[in-house]
Amino acid sequence: MILKNKFILITGAGGGIGSVVCKKLISEGAVLGLVDISKSLLSDIEKEIKKTAGKSYNFIADVTNPEDVKRVFKEVISVSNSIDVLINIAGIQAPIGPFIDNDLQIWKRNIEVNLFGTVFFTYHAVQIMKQKRRGRIINFSGGGSASPRPNLSAYAVAKTGVVRFTETIAEELKDYNININAVAPGAINTKMLEEVIRAGDLAGKEYIEAISRKEKGGTDPNLVAELICFLASDLSNGITGKLISAPWDPWQKEEFQVLLKNDKDIASLRRIDNKNFYKKI
């Protein structure tokens, strides 16, 4: 039980990935603070946790509302006195389609949820963690953060922002023993897959890929749940400012973990121009 008695606050807890992650965290002994905008989704995951005799607290909040976020942290302190780990999963995918045809209000909402939701929760968590000089923050990246993702421009921009935010804040927090990393969960079959399918031709080539993925099955969500447990635990001490892919990176191997700790260019956003950074062969 590598997370025994650690208090972990997790946004988007009631979603497809969030619920799987919550169950894994509970199995490792964590106490959870569940954050979601949906009361019914929170109730569902709470019922599942109770079946395992796990301990959790519910916090209904819109991650884009600063007052909601402040209230959550005030309530967290009242039940826990502290926070050991923050996991920012809450996210949305819309709008889908060519940028020039997007509704810019929906585009803006995407940035608010995916990027600012992560920023708001990180801001308040860091205030607490700096006092303890210890903490873990795990942010969610996604498709489009490491390569272009046409027809999902808002999502790609927001998730790229999350990665650069993660890298930058990691440098600021090194002296406080606060590790902050981003994870790429892989192509997991969630409601976001259904959104792409409903969008049809607006999603471009992703529509065909989504149909195929629905038939064949996507990435096992337990992979990202295992990665999150690793990053939330003391097993990952010294790994910070990285973007780690749950299905594609060999993060379970000790030699790769050593690279993550010591090579500043591994698992990061870099421009490869053969001048300042070279493509490794």
pLDDT in tens, 161-207: 999 999 999 999 999 999 999 999 876 656 666 666 676 777 677 76
pLDDT given at position 254: 95
pLDDT given at position 277: 57
Nearest C-alpha neighbor of 159 from the set 148, 144, 147, 149: 144
Of 18-32, 250-264, 266-280, the range with the lowest mean pLDDT is 266-280
Distances (CA, A) of 258 to 114, 116, 234: 30, 31, 14
Q: What is the pTM of this model?
A: 0.92
- 185: phi > 0 → left, psi -120 to 50 → alpha, else beta; which? alpha
pLDDT given at position 136: 98
Domain at 7-191+221-262, CATH class:
alpha beta
Question: Which residues, other chains included, contact 121 with Cβ-Cβ below 8 Å and sequence gap of 6+?
Answer: 9, 11, 35, 63, 69, 72, 86, 88
User: Does residue 102 surpass a pLDDT of 70?
Assistant: yes
Q: Using the structure block, give the residue that is written with the tokens 């790229």.
A: 160
- Separation between Cα atoms, residue 25 and residue 212, nearest integer Å: 31
The secondary element (H helix, E strand) that includes residue 202 is none
Task: Kindly report, residue by residue over 67-79, the tens digit of the pLDDT.
Answer: 999 999 999 999 9
User: Does residue 257 surpass a pLDDT of 90?
Assistant: yes
Q: Which band of pLDDT confidence, cut at 50, 70 and 90, is reported for residue 159?
A: very high
Task: Kindly report, residue by residue over 103-115, the tens digit of the pLDDT.
Answer: 999 999 999 999 9
Task: Kindly report, residue by residue over 126-141, the tens digit of the pLDDT.
Answer: 999 999 999 999 999 9
Torsion of CA 8, 52, 56, 58, to 10 degrees: 120
Q: Report helix angle 221-232 to 16-27, nearest 10.
A: 50
Burial class (CB in 10 A: 0-12, 13-18, 19+), 86: buried
Tell me which residues are annotated as active site. Answer: 155
The secondary element (H helix, E strand) that includes residue 276 is none
| Chain length of the chain | 281
pLDDT given at position 26: 96
Which carries the bigger pLDDT value, residue 272 or residue 56?
56
Task: Kindly report, residue by residue over 79-101, the tens digit of the pLDDT.
Answer: 998 899 999 999 998 998 999 99
pLDDT given at position 53: 83
The secondary element (H helix, E strand) that includes residue 10 is strand 7-11
Are 93 and 199 in contact, with CB atoms under 8 Å apart?
Answer: no
Q: Where are the domains of the chain?
A: 7-191+221-262
User: Does residue 209 surpass a pLDDT of 90?
Assistant: no
pLDDT given at position 33: 96
**pLDDT > 70: what percent of the chain?**
88
Are 117 and 111 in contact, with CB atoms under 8 Å apart?
Answer: no
For 41, the token pair is 């989704």
State whether the Cα torsion 4-5-11-13 is positive or negative: positive
pLDDT given at position 279: 58
Q: Which band of pLDDT confidence, cut at 50, 70 and 90, is reported for residue 3?
A: very high
Q: What average pLDDT does this structure show over 203-217?
A: 69
